[in-house]
């Protein structure tokens, strides 16, 4: 049987585990907000309308950061509609997803929810139909202590202390022809520069994210980032990347190898940002905010024109299987291995819409298969990320050529070692790990997300069909750790070091 060999050496590291890599995304889309995180009258909702079952699952998942309120939604959104007395909030048309938006949930409800889930917000401003003024007004509402029009309005709404929101996205996917108020790279770069300047004058402590390309396959990938950053490099800290990996349309091997594409995208964006730095003679280095990523059968979605005007419609409620969980695990591994240059990542989205958490109105909430690799990685990745030296058998793919069947990352924190590993292959994969240079390892455990049926899913009727389980067989002999990874699986090997 073919096997894989890994070498871990504490001298070789990527960098610290950045907690913001375990981000998620709440967009006013479908049932992510309404009947997802917010459902007044639900048996598990408090007086604030927030579903406690979803809060508990979000905490269990280990979500550290949440991007809000969009997505495409933000490009036609007027944030003022979502603050103040609920009875006075207008109902509006959301042009992104043909939704009736009641505005019952807005910034203040979101920030209450953020406190409950104990996560950091990443707030997006509308640079589609709106501009500099509305963006700076929102920063004033959220972050200015008081004594001004917008900060006093926040205080009047019962929030005396500023929220202190640090990270802000300057619009969303402004390169996309589908985006309301989409722009050319020159138009957007200029606007991002001016919006950033004004927002920073209100609060100099902001960390700002410029919109990169909405995916790597769009014709302007690379040139978009270069032009945008030539305008706003000095004003921003991050450049965004988005990508969804489609199980439909390509071969199964292509899908299982999706992380190769994420890696190419990260490296392409970094190379472009560094090229602009060189041109500008800047020593500053940007990081990537990979603030939308997930598995999504996007080719099956008919686009917004296929939708009827509805409030909280059931759209894109993707059901995930074990193969999807393995791909999500490999994407998390890729993010960890690039944590020296990827500072933020948000899985899109959190509830119901392409989401790890599913809910029913008035009913239960449950974990999809992809919940598990996220929760396990967020829980066990801590300390420093090691640069793993790996050799593994390869598998043929149409899109990416020969790809290793193994994706892996490792973290080390004082006395704790965690190795994250995805077996993309259809056969069990023996792995041998050389732990040279590490203190003696003990208390080994091997947790896997796998199933004899890689199409197995969790459903409302059978919410625990796919769960992480501990498997036997992993062993430590001196500085040699051995284990066998089940076919198409996500795995965590944990050990204590003494
Ligand atoms: O997450 C769903 C949508 O995908 C977002 O609104 C948009 O930014 C992306 O195209």
Ligand 1 center from residue 71 Cα (angstroms):
5
Probe residue for ligand 1, chosen from 126, 242, 300 as the CB with the greatest number of ligand atoms within 8 Å: 242
Ligand 1 center from residue 29 Cα (angstroms):
9
Percent of the chain with pLDDT over 90: 98
Atom of ligand 1 nearest to the CA of 27: 6
Mean pLDDT of 104-131: 98
In short, whether 292's Cβ falls inside 6 Å of ligand 1 is yes
Phi-psi region of 275 (alpha: psi -120 to 50; beta: other; left: phi over 0): alpha
Q: Is the dihedral of CA 152, 158, 162, 163 positive or negative?
A: negative
pLDDT grade, residue 106 (50/70/90)? very high
Probe residue for ligand 1, chosen from 73, 128, 348, 353 as the CB with the greatest number of ligand atoms within 8 Å: 348
Mean pLDDT of 387-405: 97
| Among 110, 117, 3, residue whose Cα is nearest residue 60 | 117
In short, whether 243's Cβ falls inside 6 Å of ligand 1 is no
pLDDT grade, residue 249 (50/70/90)? confident
pLDDT grade, residue 247 (50/70/90)? very high
* Closest protein CA for atom 3 of ligand 1: 71
pLDDT of amino acid 102: 98
Token pair in block for residue 100: 């009736």
Per-position DSSP letters for 90-116, written without gaps between them: PPEEETTTTEEE--SS-HHHHHHHHHH
pLDDT of amino acid 373: 98
Beta strand pairing call for 480-485 and 469-470: unpaired
Mean pLDDT of 192-209: 98
126 touches 76 (CB < 8 A)? yes
pLDDT of amino acid 297: 97
pLDDT of amino acid 437: 86
Give tens-digit pLDDT for 181-190.
999 999 999 9
Token pair in block for residue 70: 């969009």
The beta strand positions in 336-459, using DSSP E, are 342-347, 357-359, 365-367, 384-386, 389-391, 394-397, 401-404, 406-413, 416-423, 429-434, 441-449
d(CA 466, CA 369): 6
* Closest protein CA for atom 1 of ligand 1: 348
Mean pLDDT of 380-384: 97
In short, whether 72's Cβ falls inside 6 Å of ligand 1 is yes
Please state the pTM of the whole predicted model: 0.97
* Residues carrying an active site annotation: 173, 292
Mean pLDDT of 107-123: 98
pLDDT grade, residue 1 (50/70/90)? confident
In short, whether 240's Cβ falls inside 6 Å of ligand 1 is no
pLDDT grade, residue 28 (50/70/90)? very high
Give tens-digit pLDDT for 277-305.
999 999 999 999 999 999 999 999 999 99
Cβ within 8 Å of residue 452, ≥6 positions away: none
Average pLDDT, the chain: 97
* Closest protein CA for atom 6 of ligand 1: 71
pLDDT of amino acid 21: 98
Is the confidence at residue 478, as pLDDT, over 80? yes
pLDDT of amino acid 417: 97
Is the confidence at residue 167, as pLDDT, over 80? yes
Is the confidence at residue 383, as pLDDT, over 80? yes
Mean pLDDT of 324-333: 98
In short, whether 291's Cβ falls inside 6 Å of ligand 1 is no
Mean pLDDT of 220-248: 98
Probe residue for ligand 1, chosen from 27, 31, 352, 356 as the CB with the greatest number of ligand atoms within 8 Å: 27
């Amino acid at each position: 049987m073919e096997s894989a060999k890994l070498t871990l050496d504490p001298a070789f590291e990527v960098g610290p585990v950045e907690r913001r890599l375990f981000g998620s995304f709440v967009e006013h889309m479908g049932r992510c907000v309404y009947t997802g995180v917010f459902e007044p009258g639900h048996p598990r909702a408090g007086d604030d309308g927030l579903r406690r079952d979803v809060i508990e699952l979000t905490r269990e998942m280990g979500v550290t950061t949440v991007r809000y309120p969009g997505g495409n939604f933000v490009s036609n959104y007027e944030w003022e509609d979502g603050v103040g007395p609920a009875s006075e909030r207008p109902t509006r048309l959301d042009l992104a997803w043909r939704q009736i938006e009641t505005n019952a949930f807005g910034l203040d409800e979101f920030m209450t929810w953020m406190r409950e889930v104990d996560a950091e917000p990443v707030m997006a401003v509308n640079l589609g139909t709106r501009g500099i003024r509305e963006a700076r007004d929102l920063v004033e509402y959220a972050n200015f202590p008081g004594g001004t029009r917008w900060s006093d309005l926040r205080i009047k709404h019962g929030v005396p202390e500023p929220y202190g929101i640090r990270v802000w996205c300057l619009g969303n996917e402004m390169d996309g022809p589908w985006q309301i108020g989409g722009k050319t790279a020159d138009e957007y770069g200029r606007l991002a520069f001016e919006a950033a300047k004004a927002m920073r004058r209100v609060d100099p402590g902001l960390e700002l994210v410029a919109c990169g390309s909405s995916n790597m396959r769009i014709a302007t990938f690379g040139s978009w980032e270069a032009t945008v950053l030539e305008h706003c490099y000095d004003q921003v800290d991050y450049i965004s990347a988005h990508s969804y990996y489609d199980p439909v349309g390509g071969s199964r091997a292509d899908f299982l190898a999706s992380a190769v594409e994420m890696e190419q995208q990260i490296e392409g964006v970094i190379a472009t940002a560094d090229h602009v730095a060189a041109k500008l003679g800047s020593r500053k280095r940007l990081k990537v905010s990979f603030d939308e990523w997930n598995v999504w059968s996007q080719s099956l979605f008919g686009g917004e024109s296929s939708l009827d005007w509805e409030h909280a419609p059931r759209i894109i409620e993707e059901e995930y299987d074990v193969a999807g969980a393995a791909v999500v695990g490999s994407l998390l591994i890729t993010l960890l291995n690039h944590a020296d240059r990827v500072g933020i990542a948000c899985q899109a989205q959190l509830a119901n819409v392409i989401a790890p958490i599913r809910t029913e109105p008035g009913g239960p909430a449950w974990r999809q298969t992809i919940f598990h690799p996220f929760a396990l990685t967020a829980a066990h990745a801590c300390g420093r990320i090691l640069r793993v030296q790996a050799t593994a058998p390869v598998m043929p793919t149409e899109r990416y050529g020969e790809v290793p069947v193994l994706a892996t990352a490792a973290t080390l924190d004082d006395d704790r070692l965690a190795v994250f590993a995805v077996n993309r292959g259809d056969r069990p994969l023996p792995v041998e790990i050389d732990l040279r240079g590490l203190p003696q390892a003990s208390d080994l455990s091997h947790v896997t997300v796998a199933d004899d049926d890689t199409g197995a899913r969790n459903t409302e009727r059978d919410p625990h069909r796919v769960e992480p389980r501990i498997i036997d067989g992993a062993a430590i002999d001196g500085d040699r750790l051995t284990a066998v990874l089940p076919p198409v699986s996500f795995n965590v090997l944990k050990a204590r070091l003494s």
